Amino acid sequence: MKRSLNALVKILLMTAFSSVILMTTAHANNPPPTVKVDAPNRYIVKKGDTLWDISGRYLDSPWRWKEIWATNKQIKNPNLIYPNDILILCVIQGKTLIGVDTGEGCAGVEKQLTGNVVASTVAVTSTANSIPAIPMSAIQHWLDKTSIVNPKDFNTTPYILASKNRNLITASGDKIYAKGVPLIVGQRYGVYRKGKPYVEPKTQKVIGLEVTQVATALATAVAANGVTSLQLTDSYGKEVREGDRVFVELANAIPPVFYPTPATVNRGGMIVRVMDSISSAARGSVVAINLGSTHGAKPGDVLTVYQKGALIRDTIDNDTPVRLPSEPAGMVMIFNTFDNISYAYVLSSELPLNVGAQLLPPPYL
């Protein structure tokens, strides 16, 4: 029995090892991404373009853009694209690539790619006016004012006790009072409103609490009983209420530039909330997904959305209910990650995307 068990373990280990080798080999031998037949030979980048839109002009698999982008080794940020850049399609060393035309056509792109450009120093380019991966206006709120925190930590922070004049509506310049751990006089703090908790669908465990910053305040004094006086310096479209929490402003660690790339998360996920909506998401919507940094998620990760197949009755087999296979329904790109939750932008949707839709990395081919 012991011998047969050992043999079974060896077989399982060999099977797992073989699977890894096959996956590695498949990726290593994977052919280059297919350029669309109608891809433009020359494209002038316009203000308002996004990297995803440009990628989609050239590739059926836009997340593989970096594989055909001819980067300039003489530039510190070689992946940046700017309005009025002229992109040209070239065949260089047998590979179809896209680069910025510097006036020499494909010969110039090849020089940049191979490093055969005379340059005394590496040029540094600004990210300020570069083309974003996705529209920043669509995600700015979820970058600046909304975060996901640990509910236990949130409940231990000081809370708003009252305003000086007991106003229902407060504004910049008003005085408010907070009770709890005394705050540091002269320190700037954020005032945050508690939102809905996030629950892991399978375990029903709370995995995060969404909070929204409603104001910024400066601690001006601490009374003997520990009550802190604060003066509001900025408000963000909402009044400060009793019970709102006060703590150091959260800074989301978002890279200045990120690029669409196939996700390398350690498990599949699902859409757990459609932001600013009670129904379904479409292209341009923002959704929350149950994949975070602990699962390997990072800004720029692209995932395919699969909608569960319809439940039908098999009329040939006594009306037995049968679930049809799940079908790809769209794609999302992560732009902000937390421990167990991420915000993602809907890049495309063939169907309305609903809570519960499954998420997997896009197929490599």
Q: Tell me how far CA of residue 87 lies from CA of 19, 47, 125, in angstroms.
A: 40, 14, 17
Record the tokens describing residue 251, joined without a space: 């800074």
pTM, to two decimals: 0.82
Tally of CA atoms within 13 A in the half-sphere of 365 that contains its CB: 5
**Average pLDDT for 230-255:** 87
Domain range 261-360, CATH class: mainly beta
Give domain limits for the chain. 1-27, 42-131, 141-247, 261-360
CA angle 59, 64, 68 (to 5 degrees): 75
Q: Are 34 and 64 in contact (CB under 8 A)?
A: no
Query: Is the predicted pLDDT of residue 103 greater than 70, yes or no?
Result: yes
In this structure, of 15-19, 63-67, 220-224, the range with the lowest mean pLDDT score is: 15-19
For 163-209, the pLDDT digits (tens) are 877 665 566 788 999 999 999 999 999 999 999 999 998 899 999 99
H/E stretch holding 288 reads strand 286-289
Per-residue pLDDT band at 144 (split at 50, 70, 90): confident
- Amino acid (one-letter) located at 150: N
261-360: same fold as 141-247? yes
Q: Tell me how far CA of residue 129 lies from CA of 4, 80, 315, in angstroms.
A: 65, 9, 60
H/E stretch holding 36 reads none
Burial class of 100 by CB neighbour count within 10 A (0 to 12, 13 to 18, 19+): buried
| Longest Cα–Cα distance in the chain | 81
Per-residue pLDDT band at 6 (split at 50, 70, 90): very low
Alpha helices per DSSP H over 155-206 = none
123: Cα separation from own chain's centroid:
29
H helices then E strands: how many in the chain?
5, 19
Distance, CA of 115 to CA of 92 (rounded, Å): 13
**Average pLDDT for 4-27:** 36
- Amino acid (one-letter) located at 296: G
Record the tokens describing residue 205, joined without a space: 């465990």
Query: Is the predicted pLDDT of residue 240 greater than 70, yes or no?
Result: yes
Per-residue pLDDT band at 119 (split at 50, 70, 90): low
H/E stretch holding 198 reads strand 188-199
Domain range 141-247, CATH class: mainly beta
